[in-house]
């Protein structure tokens, strides 16, 4: 299914040759993983392999089909310090946030706290809950353009606060929330903590148990270098059997395990997080995701995070040394991950220069967003920075 391990140590040059040859050939400087991550060579091969079998479906065994998603749950769980029984596979982050909004036991008048300027996927499900069930979404105003964690902590003691839903890493600012501190504060007060991990996981490391996370949602197509239509939700073990799935899948119940007796209806949920899955999943895409996650595991999530941090620090230090560029992302390494936003004097013109030079990036909220990953090099970052300011 996957290629052999790259090496005992994490060697960027070897990684580029084997998994991202277009980068090694200099065809593109890709610094836009906060938008869409490229597929490694092994993942492309895995997708082709599975789709070839799909053209002759009699060759797809039950073990291949259901073994694929079983392996997906294991790999996703391993990335966040969870168990496979706490992981349900989803096709995007939004579905996981909707699960939290619809399945948690909210009452009319309860309050959900979040930050202003959050990505819409972590806003609209809560707005819909407000409309449907009278649960109020209170967004804490940003401070100097960044999430105000101190204000959020003060708000935890407000009346009827039932949950907090935040992005671990902000999509536009790159601000990284102190989840350990926030999780402990929520845990002490009996407040649910819901996390959108899309812009952090894969470029940084996270332990959901250590951070007292109750539900976490993450799509695979960005930092996890996986196909569109892949992702997962983590539900803390103690919550799994307390929550009623809002979307009922025909394989969410134990009776559907035996395909020879599907009409022996028995509406008994799985005891693990599979109760939240809605089958049929895109098995071929999760087969591809497995290849990508296995690559990240081979490299070592901590080693990947350290490499990403070095490149991000290079961007931060460069911007701090200049008078014509404003750093949007916090300079403190504890408050950032792989997303770094900088605002040159004319962001639109800077974006045009980068595009013309073949540097993939994003223009978000008046700033240039750069997001390097495991295979990018310091030379690529330096070229992108020089291009941005016209040097």
Give the phi and the psi of residue 327 in degrees, each rounded to 5: -80, 120
Band (pLDDT 50/70/90 cuts) for residue 1 is very low
- In 3D space, the residue among 72, 81, 34, 296 whose CA is nearest the CA of residue 179 turns out to be 81
Position 250 scores a pLDDT of 87
Q: What is the value of pTM for the model shown?
A: 0.94
| CA atoms 342, 343, 346, 349: torsion sign | positive
Does an H or E element contain 375, and which?
Answer: none
- In 3D space, the residue among 201, 202, 204, 184 whose CA is nearest the CA of residue 193 turns out to be 184
Note if the bond before 354 is cis, omega within 30 degrees. no
Band (pLDDT 50/70/90 cuts) for residue 89 is very high
Q: What percentage of residues in the chain have a pLDDT greater than 70?
A: 98
Question: Span 74-82, mean pLDDT?
Answer: 98
Position 3 scores a pLDDT of 41
Question: Span 150-154, mean pLDDT?
Answer: 98
Residues 220 and 326: their CA atoms lie apart, in Å, by: 31
Residues 185 and 191: their CA atoms lie apart, in Å, by: 8
The tens digit of pLDDT for each residue in 42-51 reads 999 999 999 9
Band (pLDDT 50/70/90 cuts) for residue 389 is very high
The tens digit of pLDDT for each residue in 104-148 reads 999 999 999 999 999 999 999 999 998 889 999 999 999 999 999
Position 255 scores a pLDDT of 86
Tokens representing residue 128 in the block: 């819909």
Question: Span 54-80, mean pLDDT?
Answer: 96
Residues 79 and 301 sit within 8 Å (Cβ to Cβ): yes
**DSSP string covering 168-182, please?**
SB-TTT-BB--HHHH
The tens digit of pLDDT for each residue in 342-385 reads 999 999 999 999 999 999 999 998 999 999 999 999 999 999 99
Residue 94 has pLDDT above 80, yes or no: yes
Residue 53 has pLDDT above 80, yes or no: yes
Mean pLDDT of the chain: 94
Question: Span 155-178, mean pLDDT?
Answer: 97
Position 9 scores a pLDDT of 55
Question: Span 5-29, mean pLDDT?
Answer: 86
- Of residues 346 and 257, more confidence is placed in 346
SS (H, E, C) 50-76: HHHHHCCHHHCCHHHHHHHHHHHHHHH
Position 198 scores a pLDDT of 97
The tens digit of pLDDT for each residue in 174-200 reads 999 999 999 999 999 999 999 999 999
Residue 203 has pLDDT above 80, yes or no: yes
């Amino acid at each position: 299914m996957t290629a052999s391990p790259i090496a005992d140590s994490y060697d960027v040059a070897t990684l580029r040759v084997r998994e991202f040859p277009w980068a090694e050939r200099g065809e593109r400087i890709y610094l836009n993983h906060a938008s869409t991550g490229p597929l490694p060579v092994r993942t492309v091969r895995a997708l082709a392999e599975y789709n070839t079998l799909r053209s002759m479906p009699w060759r797809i065994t039950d073990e291949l089909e259901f073994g694929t998603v079983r392996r997906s749950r294991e790999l996703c769980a391993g990335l966040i310090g969870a168990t496979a029984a706490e992981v349900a596979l989803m096709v995007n982050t939004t579905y996981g946030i909707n699960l939290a909004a619809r399945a948690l036991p909210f009452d009319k008048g309860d309050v959900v706290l979040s930050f202003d300027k959050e990505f819409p996927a972590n806003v609209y499900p809560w707005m819909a809950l407000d409309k449907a069930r009278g649960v109020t979404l209170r967004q804490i105003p940003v401070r100097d353009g960044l999430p105000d964690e101190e204000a959020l902590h003060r708000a935890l003691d407000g009346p009827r606060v039932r949950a907090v839903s935040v992005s671990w890493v902000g999509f536009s600012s790159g601000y990284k929330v102190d989840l350990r501190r926030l999780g402990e504060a929520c845990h002490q007060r009996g407040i649910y903590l819901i996390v959108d991990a899309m812009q952090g996981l894969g470029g940084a490391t996270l332990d959901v148990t250590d951070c007292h996370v109750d539900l976490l949602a993450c799509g695979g197509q960005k930092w996890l270098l996986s196909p569109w239509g892949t992702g997962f939700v983590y539900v803390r073990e103690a919550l799994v059997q307390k929550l009623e799935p809002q979307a009922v899948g025909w394989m969410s119940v134990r009776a559907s395990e035996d395909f020879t007796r599907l009409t022996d209806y028995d509406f008994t949920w799985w005891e693990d997080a599979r109760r939240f899955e809605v089958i049929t999943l895109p098995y071929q895409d999760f087969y591809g995701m497995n290849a990508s996650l296995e690559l990240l595991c081979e490299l070592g999530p901590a080693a990947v995070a350290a490499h990403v941090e070095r490149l991000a620090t290079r961007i931060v230090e460069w911007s701090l040394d200049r008078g014509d560029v404003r750093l949007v992302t916090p300079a403190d390494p504890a408050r950032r991950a792989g997303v770094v936003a900088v605002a040159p004097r004319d962001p639109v013109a800077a974006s045009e220069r980068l595009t013309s030079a073949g540097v993939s990036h994003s223009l978000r909220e008046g700033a240039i967003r750069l997001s390097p990953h495991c295979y990018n090099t310091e030379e690529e970052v330096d070229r992108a920075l020089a291009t941005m300011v016209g040097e």
